[in-house]
Amino acid sequence: MMVQAPPTLVLLVDDYPDNRDIYVQFLTYSGLRVEEAENGHQALDKAFSLRPDVIVMDLSLPGLDGWEATRRLKEDPRTRDIPVIALTGHALAGHSKGAFDAGCDAFITKPCLPERLLDEIRAILAAARPRSGDTTP
Amino acid sequence: MSILRNVTDLQRATAELEDNYRKLRQTEADARAERDRLDLVIDSVADPILVTDPGGNTVMMNAPAEHLFTAPEVSSEEAQRLVQANDAHFSSFVSNLFFEGGTLRRSGSISLVDPGTGAALPMEAISGKIVSEHGEVTALVTILHDRTEELERARLYEELKRASAELELKVREATAELVRQNELLRRSHIALEQASALKSQFLANMSHEFRTPLNAILGYTSMLLKGVSGELAAPQRRNLERIDSNSQHLLSIINDILDITRIEAGKMPLTVADFPMLDLIREVLAEVEPLIARSKLTVTTQVNDALPPLRSDRQKVKQIVINLLTNALKFTPQGWVTVTAVCDPVIERMAIAVADSGIGISPKDQDVIFEDFRQADDSPTRQYTGAGLGLAICRRLATMLGGELSVRSALGEGSTFTLVLPRAPEDDR
């Protein structure tokens, strides 16, 4: 029996309002639901309560940064299986390694066009599909 | 008979007398000859020699001694006075010796004066006593030796020693100064390095800060062009495309600056792997295909099929080749561009050359083009990416890869840029 899957829910974590605005606009326009968080603590709260399908995490955040937030998400059984796409303005070597060490599933360097982010979200969801529970037998 | 005998005796006595006289004369002659020989010998000695009897009288002297102790008949009063003075000095020296018992030999110093010139003669006197069979001192032989030269040598030696000590002091001072300068240089070197590191950090931070708003500009522009905010009229689309291409240009400049700062900060890691050069060149050609199509140039490649794989950082080699190729396309109004790759199996080096029939580079500009933020022509006619950093980055990357980037060109006769790389890293063969 085919079940109509609800629209994918993306949790977008970025402290720069305009970047959030672009991605929210474009992802919504592309048929996804988007929730926003502007710092690490907010990201954890929303991730635990909303259980999004994917989390887009800017690594440089005020207070609790993206690396630490990702580490806590990956340690918690409620959010452990949610894929995290790391997003950073730092193209420096070592940043990507740090992100993967923290448990990120993908790594994107800014500037990142909204369509590229969408491609990345679709690719990671395709790979993680069995987790979401709406598998087609 | 007896008279005759007397006469005979007389004759004999006379003969005997004559014989003795002859012998005496002979002996006398011998003695004179002996004496002459002795005179000759002692005269031939350059040092004055005097023989003095116990009474203090000089019984014999050679020519050099005569010069000091006798005044010629016709000589100045001054000379006579000096001779007397010499004589007094010598007599005093000798009389002391006669009264001294014991030692047969003695030496000492006396100061004489050359009566001819008035020059001081510091003399060393060596005296020996001549003793008879009965142990009496019969004479004293004295040899005088002029020490002027010796003293002069000693003086020169002292001077030399002083000069040497002075020199040593100067050398020590100069060395100390050098150490001080070295320390200053070391400190200013550290200060410079710190300033340079700060500059790199500043550039890296600025570039990062630039990219955040630029990300928003590129994002909004892209969304508008995609029709997220509704359909666009043709003039709006055209203008948005201008915004987009300018933003892309700005981004490539910022990325170039980031590359430079990363290389300078040693934060550009290498990822080394084997890869076929032909593939890489094909990939580069495919990526710049839009530029090639627009240029209407004949672009060819010459790559030997038997080319061994290159062991290097593929992404960085590609970055260099793309840069050289886009430069060639940019600066070639008509004609051709050729990409060649050859490998020297002996020295294990691969050369990738990008040649063009373009505007060329004058000899004076051939170093300038590799400097940061410089172009041979600084006019704002650039069509493609870059802030005059492209070749500066390429050369740095080539150095990082253990290779080098060079140019051969003449104004109006095209250019050939050659990237020479080791077939594999030094520590990897």
A100: number of Cβ within 10 Å: 14
A135: in domain: no
Contact B261, B253 (CB under 8 A): no
What pLDDT, on a 0 to 100 scale, did the predictor assign at position A134? 45
**Torsion, CA B19, CA B25, CA B31, CA B37, rounded to 10:** -120
List pLDDT tens digits, range B150-167: 899 999 999 999 999 999
pLDDT over threshold 90, residue B137: no
What pLDDT, on a 0 to 100 scale, did the predictor assign at position B64? 87
* Tokens linked to A53: 């399908």
Closest-approach residue (CA) in chain B for A112: B215
Confidence of residue B428 (pLDDT cuts 50, 70, 90): low
User: What is the domain-level CATH number for residue A88?
Assistant: 3.40.50.2300
Chain A residues lying within 8 Å of B315, measured CB to CB: none
- Rounded to an integer, what distance in angstroms lies between the CA atom of residue B340 and that of residue B352? 6
Residue at B148: amino acid letter: T
Confidence of residue B251 (pLDDT cuts 50, 70, 90): confident
Q: Is B223 on the interface with A (CB under 8 A)?
A: yes
A76: in domain: yes
* Weakly modelled stretches of chain A, pLDDT under 50: 93, 131-137
What pLDDT, on a 0 to 100 scale, did the predictor assign at position B386? 53
* Tokens linked to A59: 């690594």
Q: Is B215 on the interface with A (CB under 8 A)?
A: yes
Of the partner residues B215, B223, B258, the one whose CB lies closest to the CB of residue A110: B215
Residues 259-298 of B with CB under 8 A from A: 262, 267-269
Top-confidence residue, B377 or B226: B226
Q: What mean pLDDT do residues B197-212 have?
A: 80
CA distance to partner chain A, nearest, from residue B232 (Å): 16
**Structural domain total, chain A:** 1
Range of the domain at A112: 9-128
Q: What mean pLDDT do residues B208-224 have?
A: 89
Q: Is A127 on the interface with B (CB under 8 A)?
A: no
A82: in domain: yes
What pLDDT, on a 0 to 100 scale, did the predictor assign at position A136? 40
List pLDDT tens digits, range B54-99: 888 888 888 888 888 888 777 788 888 888 888 888 888 888 777 7
What pLDDT, on a 0 to 100 scale, did the predictor assign at position B253? 81
Q: Is B220 on the interface with A (CB under 8 A)?
A: yes
List pLDDT tens digits, range B298-332: 999 998 878 888 999 998 999 999 999 998 998 89
A106: in domain: yes
What pLDDT, on a 0 to 100 scale, did the predictor assign at position A110? 80
What pLDDT, on a 0 to 100 scale, did the predictor assign at position B383? 47
Q: What mean pLDDT value characterizes chain B?
A: 86
Top-confidence residue, B127 or B2: B127
- Rounded to an integer, what distance in angstroms lies between the CA atom of residue B128 and that of residue B424? 92
CA distance to partner chain B, nearest, from residue A46 (Å): 24
Q: Is A97 helix (H, G, I), strand (E, B) or coil?
A: helix
CATH number of the domain located at residue range(s) B272-428 in this protein: 3.30.565.10
Going by their DSSP bridges, the two strands B49-52 and B137-146 should be labelled as antiparallel
Confidence of residue B381 (pLDDT cuts 50, 70, 90): low
Homologous superfamily of domain range B2-148: PAS domain (3.30.450.20)
Q: Across the interface, do B223 and A114 touch by the CB < 8 Å criterion? A: yes
A103 closest CA partner among A77, A120, A118, A84 = A84
B409: number of Cβ within 10 Å: 22
Distance of CA B127 to the CA centre of its chain: 58
HEC readout, chain B: CHHHHHHHHHHHHHHHHHHHHHHHHHHHHHHHHHHHHHHHHHHHCCCCEEEECCCCCEEEECHHHHHHHCCCCCCCHHHHHHHHHHHHHHHHHHHHHHHCCCCCEEEEEEEEECCCCCCEEEEEEEEEEEECCCCCEEEEEEEEEECHHHHHHHHHHHHHHHHHHHHHHHHHHHHHHHHHHHHHHHHHHHHHHHHHHHHHHHHHHHHHHHHHHHHHHHHHHHHHHCCCCCCCCHHHHHHHHHHHHHHHHHHHHHHHHHHHHHHHCCCCCCCEEEECHHHHHHHHHHHCHHHHHHHCCEEEEEECCCCCCEEEEHHHHHHHHHHHHHHHHHCCCCCEEEEEEEEECCCCEEEEEEEECCCCCCHHHCCHHHCCCCCCCCCCCCCCCCCCCHHHHHHHHHHHCCCEEEEEECCCCCEEEEEEEECCCHHHC
Q: pTM of the prediction?
A: 0.55
- Residue-by-residue DSSP string for A30-84: TT-EEEEESSHHHHHHHHHHH--SEEEEES--SSS-HHHHHHHHHHSTTTTTS-E
Contact B350, B343 (CB under 8 A): yes
What pLDDT, on a 0 to 100 scale, did the predictor assign at position B384? 44
A60: in domain: yes
Domain ranges of chain B: 2-148, 153-248, 272-428
Q: Across the interface, do B228 and A25 touch by the CB < 8 Å criterion? A: yes
CA distance to partner chain A, nearest, from residue B241 (Å): 15
Contact B341, B350 (CB under 8 A): yes
